[in-house]
Amino acid sequence: METVLEVLNPVAPTAGQLERLTLVPRPPSLQGKRVGLYWNYKRGGDIALQRVGQFLRSRFAGLEADFLPVQRGPQRGVLRKLLQGYDVVVGSTAD
């Protein structure tokens, strides 16, 4: 006779499964825009972002690109406040 074992699922739903977020609209052009270059102090990420900033400045008149080194593991509120005022942000964690 077949035996059955019923067990409960140990995996918790994630906040992302409860709510999906909309992407912020991208500007059609970066002319005159502010770009944040977010770095978490991992080696290599700073070089990558500086290169991106250099490229974007050379392509778009009036573009401001700010290098943003941020302590690893920032609170969401801190991050939100830091990134306010930037039209777009490029992040690199390098690994």
The least CB distance from residue 84 to another protein, in Å, is 18
Q: Least distance to another protein from the beta carbon of 26, Å?
A: 5
| Minimum distance, C-beta of residue 49 to another protein, in the bound complex (Å) | 8
Whether 16 contacts 48, CB under 8 Å:
no
CA distances from 76 to 65, 69, 87 (A): 22, 15, 18
Map residues 14-33 to x or -, x wherever contact with another protein holds by CB under 8 A: xxxxxxxxxx-xxxxxx---
Q: Which of 9, 77, 84, 85 contacts another protein by CB under 8 A?
A: 9
What is the DSSP secondary structure assignment for residue 32, as one 8-state letter?
T
Instruction: Please identify which residue in 32, 42, 62, 80 interacts with another protein, judged by CB under 8 A.
Output: 42
Nearer to another protein, 23 or 84 (CB): 23
Q: Which two tokens stand for residue 51?
A: 């290169």
Q: Are 4 and 54 in contact (CB under 8 A)?
A: no
Q: Using DSSP, state whether 16 is helix, strand or coil.
A: helix
